Amino acid sequence: MHQASTAEPALATGTGLDNRKLLMWLFLASECLFFGSLIAAYLLYRDKSVVGPYPGDLFDIPFTSVSSFVLLMSSVTMVLALAAIQRGDRRGLQVWLLATALLGVLFLSGQAFEFTEFHRQGLSLSTNLFGTTFFVLTGFHGAHVSVGVLILLSLFVMALRGRLTAANSINVELAGLYWHFVDVVWIAIFTLVYLIQP
Binding residues for another protein, per CB under 8 A? 1-10, 12-17, 21-22, 25-26, 28-33, 35-37, 39-41, 43-45, 61-62, 65, 68-69, 72-73, 75-76, 78-80, 82-84, 86, 176-177, 180-181, 183-184, 187-188, 190-192, 195-196, 198
CB 96 within 8 A of CB 80: yes
Nearer to another protein, 159 or 174 (CB): 174
Least distance in Å: CB of 54 to another protein? 15
Nearer to another protein, 29 or 51 (CB): 29
With a CB cutoff of 8 Å and minimum separation 6, the contacts of 15 are: 22
Least distance in Å: CB of 58 to another protein? 16
Q: Say what angle helices 61-86 and 90-120 make with each other, to 10 degrees.
A: 160
Least distance in Å: CB of 155 to another protein? 17
Nearer to another protein, 119 or 188 (CB): 188
Nearer to another protein, 100 or 111 (CB): 100
- Distance from C-alpha of 141 to C-alpha of 42, rounded to nearest angstrom: 13
Nearer to another protein, 66 or 125 (CB): 66
- Distance from C-alpha of 52 to C-alpha of 54, rounded to nearest angstrom: 5
- Distance from C-alpha of 77 to C-alpha of 126, rounded to nearest angstrom: 37
Least distance in Å: CB of 138 to another protein? 16
Q: How far is CA 44 from CA 51, 141, 188, in A?
A: 16, 18, 16
Least distance in Å: CB of 50 to another protein? 16
Looking at the chain, list the stretches that DSSP marks H as alpha helix, in order from N- to C-terminal side: 19-45, 55-58, 61-86, 90-120, 129-160, 170-189
CB 193 within 8 A of CB 137: yes
Least distance in Å: CB of 83 to another protein? 5
Nearer to another protein, 116 or 168 (CB): 168
